[in-house]
Chains A and B, each alone.
Chain A
Amino acid sequence: MRALRALAAGLALGLAAAGAAEIAPGERRSGYDDMGPQTRAMQDDDSANPGMFWVLDGQALWSRKEGAAQKSCADCHGGAEAGMKGVSARHPAIDAARAKPVDIEERINICRAGRQQAAPLARESKELLALTAYIARQSRGQPVSIALDAQTRSFIAQGAAIWNRRQGQLNLSCANCHDDNWGRKLAGAGVPQAHPTGYPVYRLEWQTLGSLQRRLRNCMTGMRAEAYEYGSEEFAALELYLMARAQGMAMDAPGVRP
């Protein structure tokens, strides 16, 4: 019995270490695939997708000079259309100085601190959402491509452990719903596979744009667990795991989700 249990644990670890999804690659579905035709039409048409308001605000911010250095994003990176193509599809990525994964929001704030000598933008602030939406828009259609080196894999394994850990008063793990019961209903709503290809998303329930971390906090509150702090290491690892799990899927930010 003990041997069997050890074998099962070994198998589970093997899966987590490989960063392999429980869902077969051919069965993966983005949130977009699960939406109704009306919501899809809303996302597809740039004049109907409310996320475009943030994209347009982000475009204006991109060339605004900021901080003590009086530099804009464009001063270093040039046009975002070319320079930022695929960047959101590669994040979270390991920051060399910190030797830790950082998401695109954190990357922007690292840039602000180091290059622009400006104060960091608060998580979920209008400006940070606008910049992330503008940057993510440049990756639309690009495949999610997380670097799968040894350093990244150790953080992916951390994220996988969080994903599979039961927590909160309902004693649920993320995997209980999104790996084991996707496609079924939770109350009236469909359970998606939770591939973060469209973030930041305009969520109709929120009536506004929000980041992946806001969405994750939402889910954790629903599990009656204490949500991790914005910008925490746990979230960075979890985001990284989710993106690695969606490796190769097409980005569709800014998404519209119910």
Chain B
Amino acid sequence: MARALINVPAKAARGEIIEIKTLIQHPMETGFRVGYNGAMIPRDIISNFVCAYNGVEIFRAELSSAIASNPFLTFTTVAAESGEITFKWTGDNGFEAIETAGITVA
């Protein structure tokens, strides 16, 4: 299981713009490199990232071979209600990682 680091403010005021930061451990092997034995190293990347706030999708990203290893994504949203923010990364070789973070909106 890949490690992921999520930074979501635990508390926010209603209507406040909050910044969400995500960092996930992944080699992001491009598929264009040649290994020591002369054979191509097969592509192994995260291709999709989705963030949902209480089940509603608020941010999506499609990643490509050009993205560095351990992708760091940061984006903002409006703190509308208390609940759960879920993060899902999917990619080559059946890669899937899911993380959640709680937020209290007052």
**Chain A residues in the interface with B (C-beta under 8 A):** 42, 45-48, 50, 52-53, 56-57, 204, 207-208
Q: Is the CB of A50 within 8 A of B21?
A: no
A45 vs B72: C-alpha distance in the bound complex, in angstroms?
Answer: 12
Q: What are the nearest 9 A-B pairs in CB distance?
A: A47-B7, A207-B69, A50-B70, A47-B5, A53-B25, A53-B3, A47-B21, A207-B68, A48-B72
A252 vs B78: C-alpha distance in the bound complex, in angstroms?
Answer: 34
Given A45-B21, A47-B21, A47-B23, A53 contacting B7 (CB threshold 8 A): no
Q: Which residues of A contact B3 (CB under 8 A)?
A: 53, 56-57
Q: Which chain A residue lies CB-closest to B25?
A: A53
Q: Which chain B residue lies CB-closest to A47?
A: B7
- Central interface residue in A46, A47, A207, A208, by most chain B CB within 10 Å: A47
**Chain B residues in the interface with A (C-beta under 8 A):** 3, 5-7, 21, 23, 25, 27-28, 68-70, 72, 74
Q: Which residues of A contact B70 (CB under 8 A)?
A: 50, 53, 207
Q: Which residues of B contact A207 (CB under 8 A)?
A: 27-28, 68-70
Q: Which residues of A contact B6 (CB under 8 A)?
A: 47
A56 vs B1: C-alpha distance in the bound complex, in angstroms?
Answer: 13
Q: Is the CB of B68 within 8 A of A204?
A: yes
How far does the Cβ of B3 sit from chain A's closest Cβ, in whole Å? Answer: 5
A208 vs B3: C-alpha distance in the bound complex, in angstroms?
Answer: 14
Q: Is the CB of A208 within 8 A of B5?
A: no
22 A-B contact pairs sorted by A residue (CB < 8 Å): A42-B72, A45-B7, A45-B21, A46-B5, A47-B5, A47-B6, A47-B7, A47-B21, A47-B23, A48-B5, A48-B23, A48-B72, A48-B74, A50-B23, A50-B70, A50-B72, A53-B3, A53-B5, A53-B70, A57-B3, A204-B68, A207-B27
- Central interface residue in B5, B27, B69, B72, by most chain A CB within 10 Å: B5
Q: Which residues of A contact B5 (CB under 8 A)?
A: 46-48, 52-53
A114 vs B52: C-alpha distance in the bound complex, in angstroms?
Answer: 51
- Central interface residue in B21, B23, B69, B72, by most chain A CB within 10 Å: B23
A38 vs B1: C-alpha distance in the bound complex, in angstroms?
Answer: 29
Q: Which chain A residue lies CB-closest to B22?
A: A47
A228 vs B92: C-alpha distance in the bound complex, in angstroms?
Answer: 38
Q: Which residues of A contact B68 (CB under 8 A)?
A: 204, 207
Q: Which chain B residue lies CB-closest to A208?
A: B69
Contacts A47-B21, A52-B5, A53-B5 known; list 4 others, CB within 8 Å: A48-B21, A53-B25, A53-B70, A56-B3
How far does the Cβ of B66 sit from chain A's closest Cβ, in whole Å? Answer: 12
Q: Which chain B residue lies CB-closest to A204?
A: B68
